[in-house]
Amino acid sequence: MILNKLLTKMELMSKYTISIILFFTCSALLAQLGKSAKDTTTYKDRYGLRVGIDVVRPIYSLFSDEMNGFEIVGDYRVSKRFYVATELGYRDQTTQEDFFNFSTKGQYIKVGVDYNAYKNWLGMENMIVVGLRYGFSTFSQSVNEYTINADPFVPVRTETDNITYDGLSGHWAELVIGLKVEVLHNVFLGVSFRGNTLISAQKPDNFKNLYIPGFERVFVNNNGFSFNYTVSYLIPLYRK
């Protein structure tokens, strides 16, 4: 039942991802059609700071009691293909499981590099991003409610006293794969998929870090994955 539900969810998710990718591919094509290649042998690439926000989370936060969060993203071009990239965010997430319910609250920072694997036409700045990040988060976990898992023959016991574990932290490594497409002058739409591996995390006494801000859901083998959809603006600084 749960598996089924999850599978449909994943299906929807991948459908969504695929259509986003298609959308970006199409808009990239359109953008290419719109511009005529300039006849210049001394074309200089633009270098600058690109800042943006995650667009899905703030909208989701408005309609959901379970989640509250935002993420700011930024990158700075350091060479033809390399960018220094970072993400900063805050998350307050409540997760419902079969036998308990818990909230995770905290902030995170990710720093690393992005490599542009896409060979652009002259004057274009689209990206296929392959990147690495180091992530760090400080957070608190609180168990809001739990029901003891025991033989169904005896009446259940549910504890509703909130148990909070403060001052926890965790750090992890992240592999990033994504797209960034310039849809308007200096405005980029981005999508990225991230695979995470937890390096270490402070464990609460009688609980586990099942969710970490920035890392998101922590699976049994300490791996996880996440997505983000961003809109960002490029502040051009110089040409090289």
Identity (one letter) of the amino acid at 107?
A: Q
Sorted by sequence, the CB contacts under 8 Å of residue 7 that are 6+ apart come out as none
Q: Nearer to other proteins by C-beta: 122 or 150?
A: 150
**3 vs 62, which CB is nearer to other proteins?**
3
> Binding of other proteins at residue 47 (CB under 8 A)?
no
Could you give the 3-state DSSP secondary structure of residue 116? strand
Contact (Cβ atoms closer than 8 angstroms) between residue 76 and residue 50 = yes
Query: How many CB atoms lie under 10 A from the CB of residue 198?
Result: 19
Q: Does 14 bind other proteins (CB under 8 A)?
A: yes
Among 147, 169, 186, 197, binds other proteins (CB under 8 A): 147
Range in contact with other proteins (rule: CB under 8 A) among 30-38, 62-70, 82-90, 205-213: 205-213
Token pair 């992240």 is found at: 174
Q: How far apart are CA 97 and CA 161, in angstroms?
A: 17
Nearest C-alpha neighbor of 98 from the set 146, 65, 144? 146
Q: Does residue number 208 form part of the binding site for other proteins (CB under 8 A)? A: yes
Give the nearest distance from C-beta 145 to other proteins in angstroms: 10
Chain contacts with other proteins (rule: CB under 8 A): 2-3, 6-7, 10, 13-14, 17, 21, 97-100, 117-118, 128, 130, 146-151, 153-157, 159, 177, 193, 195, 206-208, 210, 219-221, 225
